[in-house]
Each structure stands twice: as C-alpha cells, then as structure tokens.
C-alpha cells in the first residue's frame, strides 16, 4: 500500500477538488466536481444532519450519478452555496441531459460553524468560487474550505473546545486508489491510533484533556452539557466527508463502502454519531478498476481515520481557539 495525495488521485481520475473560505467569518466550503458524473452514495449516522439532494443517492432513485459533492460550513444556511455550484456547472455544460437543458446534480452536507467568526455564511458566490478554485487545483488542508470554522471537544461549551479543520488522505493498492476528505467538527474528542486523545475538550485548568466520555459517564447530572436541560445547542456539531475511489462500483455497492468508511469516524472520534452530531460520509466511484467491495470499504475506513487526524494536526489556532500544533 502506497500513500498518494488526494490531488494526485484527482488528476489521475479526472475529478476536481477545491476550497473557498472567508477566514474572517470562520466559514467556507469544499467541492468535489465530477465532470462526467459519478455514482455516489451516503451513510448518515448523526442525529442532526444538514443536507441536500440525499434522496438522489438512494439505490432505487433513477439518477445513476451526480456531478458534485459540496461540503460546507454555515449549518443549514450553507445549503445556499450549492446554488453557486449549480451555476458553475451549468456554465461549463456539466449536468444531466434533459429535453430543455443540462441539470447539474449536486449533493451537499454542512457543519455548524456559526459564531466562529463574524457570522457570515457560505452563499452562492462562495460555492462558485470553490468551483473556480477546483479548476485551478487550489486545495489546502487545515483551516480552509469546509474546515475553516471547525472545532472539536464541545460537550461543555466553547470555553473548552479546540480548533480542528479539513483533512485529506489517499492510498494506492495495486491499481486501486482510495482517498478521503473530511471536515471534523465533532462534539467528541479525536483519538490517536493508541486510543489516547489527540485533540478535544480541554480540562478546566487548561493543562490537559477532560476526556469527553469520562465527563459524560462520571459527571452526569453535575456538569451542564449539550445533552442536559441546562444547555442549549444540541445539534451544533457534525463530521462530514467523502470517500473517492477509482474502483468501479454502483450506488448500492457504494452505500456499503460509505458505511464501512464511516467506521473510520467511529474509531477516531469519541463519542460519535450522537444527537448533537450530523455525521455524514459520501462515497463516489470515479474509475473502472475492478475491485472487491469489502477490501475497498476497509481501505476507506483507513483513509478516513488518517484524514480525521490530519484535520486536527493541520489546523491552526484561530478565533481564540487553540489547536494541537499551535
């Protein structure tokens, strides 16, 4: 198994990847464009998703493929950014052929980053700019794109959280390539491979980690949290991402790959998939390499793990929120 970059994979498989952001506002979006369309599915495990056109990905739906995946900040307000992606694709002649015109098929998921900066939300202009950036191969991890305003460790509120961001990772096994891009905005903590905490809720003295799961189990009823009646904002988190492979799969098979890929989220974030998260992971096929489904799904989980850890290690301290590497 060889490590490659997601941009190398994009160039080889002819999909595009780009970011747009407003760093002052603390928000942004990341787009993946599939000019020839790509079969796609989604696995939604969180209790509070903000999403668009998810029913297109149902294996029973007629659409055999979609033309873009948009990962965005702005909570449900960020769904407006898809309008700009639609405009860009229409201008480029990309879309599903109908009697009157080509209709671009765009799916989207959003994280909640409101209040991180000056409360500007991703809009059509930002979605369009992300597409322009993708055309110019402008992509960066950390506090860019959909990860601009991402944070983790928020069970007890913003005073104890840490900065997160956008992470990407890809590998090649033989001819098979599998990559992931993930915006990590979790209520829980991000774990290292050995199960210790890499980033998450800080202790009250600021000298270490509180351990979100420990607080939930040992301080239940004593400490106000997102899940107590004394706190508000119970759907203000979400980890969203996409797995891309050059393996040839249909929508039904990609549904399983997305589910297997989501195991990477489960292994690296604790707690995860709560009612305060909208965790969603897409899976898309951009090639014709013959590949076994379970192998591809296992690799998907691996690259998702790697991407999540990169999301916090590539982040920088912003908006008064500390990051792992300062």
Q: Are 75 and 49 in contact (CB under 8 A)?
A: no
What rounded mean pLDDT belongs to the chain? 92
pLDDT in tens, 15-70: 999 999 999 999 999 999 999 999 999 999 988 889 999 999 999 999 999 999 99
Angle at alpha carbon of residue 297, lines to 291 and 303, rounded to 5°: 110
Among 23, 311, 11, which residue's Cα sits nearest to residue 148? 23
pLDDT in tens, 161-193: 999 999 999 999 999 999 999 999 999 999 999
Q: What percent of the chain has pLDDT over 90?
A: 81
The DSSP bridge partners found for residue 284 are: 40, 244
Q: How far apart are CA 69 and CA 272, in angstroms?
A: 23
Where do the structural domains in the chain lie, given as residue ranges?
Answer: 2-313
| Predicted structure pTM score | 0.94
The DSSP bridge partners found for residue 270 are: 189
| Residues 6 or more apart whose Cβ sits within 8 Å of residue 229 | none
pLDDT in tens, 276-303: 788 999 999 999 999 999 999 999 999 9
Q: Are 19 and 70 in contact (CB under 8 A)?
A: no
Q: What pLDDT score does 220 carry? A: 75
Strands 106-110 and 66-72: parallel
Q: What pLDDT score does 226 carry? A: 62
55 vs 106, 245, 293, CA distance in Å? 11, 21, 22
Q: How far apart are CA 242 and CA 303, in angstroms?
A: 10
3-state SS class at 259? helix
Q: How far apart are CA 262 and CA 277, in angstroms?
A: 14
pLDDT in tens, 220-241: 766 666 665 444 444 578 899 9
Q: What pLDDT score does 178 carry? A: 98
CATH of 2-313, one of 3.30.300.30, 3.40.980.10, 3.40.50.300, 3.60.70.12: 3.60.70.12
């Amino acid at each position: 198994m060889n490590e490659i970059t997601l941009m190398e994979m994009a160039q080889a498989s002819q999909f595009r990847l780009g970011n747009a952001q407003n760093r002052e506002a603390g928000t942004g979006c990341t787009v993946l464009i599939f000019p020839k369309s790509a079969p796609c599915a989604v696995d939604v495990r969180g209790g509070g998703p903000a999403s668009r056109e998810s029913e297109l990905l149902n294996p029973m739906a007629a659409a055999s493929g979609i033309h873009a995946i948009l990962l965005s900040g702005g909570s449900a307000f960020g769904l407006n950014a898809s309008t700009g992606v639609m405009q860009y694709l229409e201008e480029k002649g990309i879309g599903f052929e109908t009697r009157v015109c080509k209709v671009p098929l765009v799916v989207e998921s959003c994280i909640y980053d409101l209040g991180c900066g000056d409360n500007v939300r991703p809009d059509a202009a930002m979605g369009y700019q992300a597409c322009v950036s993708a055309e110019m191969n402008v992509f960066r991890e950390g506090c860019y794109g959909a990860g601009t305003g991402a944070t983790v460790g928020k069970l007890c509120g913003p005073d104890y959280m840490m900065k997160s961001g956008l992470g990407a990772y890809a590998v090649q096994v033989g001819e098979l390539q599998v990559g992931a891009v993930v915006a990590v905005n979790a209520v829980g903590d991000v774990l290292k491979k050995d199960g210790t905490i890499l980033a998450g809720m800080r202790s009250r003295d600021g000298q270490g980690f509180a351990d979100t799961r420990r607080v939930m189990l040992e301080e239940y009823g004593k400490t106000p949290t997102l899940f107590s009646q004394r706190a508000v904002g119970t759907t203000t988190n979400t980890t969203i991402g996409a797995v891309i492979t050059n393996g040839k799969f249909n929508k039904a098979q990609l549904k399983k790959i997305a589910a297997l890929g989501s195991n990477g989220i489960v292994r690296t974030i604790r707690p995860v998939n709560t009612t305060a998260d909208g965790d969603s992971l897409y899976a898309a096929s951009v090639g014709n390499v013959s590949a076994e489904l379970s192998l591809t799904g296992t690799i998907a989980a691996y690259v998702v793990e790697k991407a999540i850890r990169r999301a916090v290690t590539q982040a920088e301290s912003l908006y008064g929120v500390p990051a792992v590497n300062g």
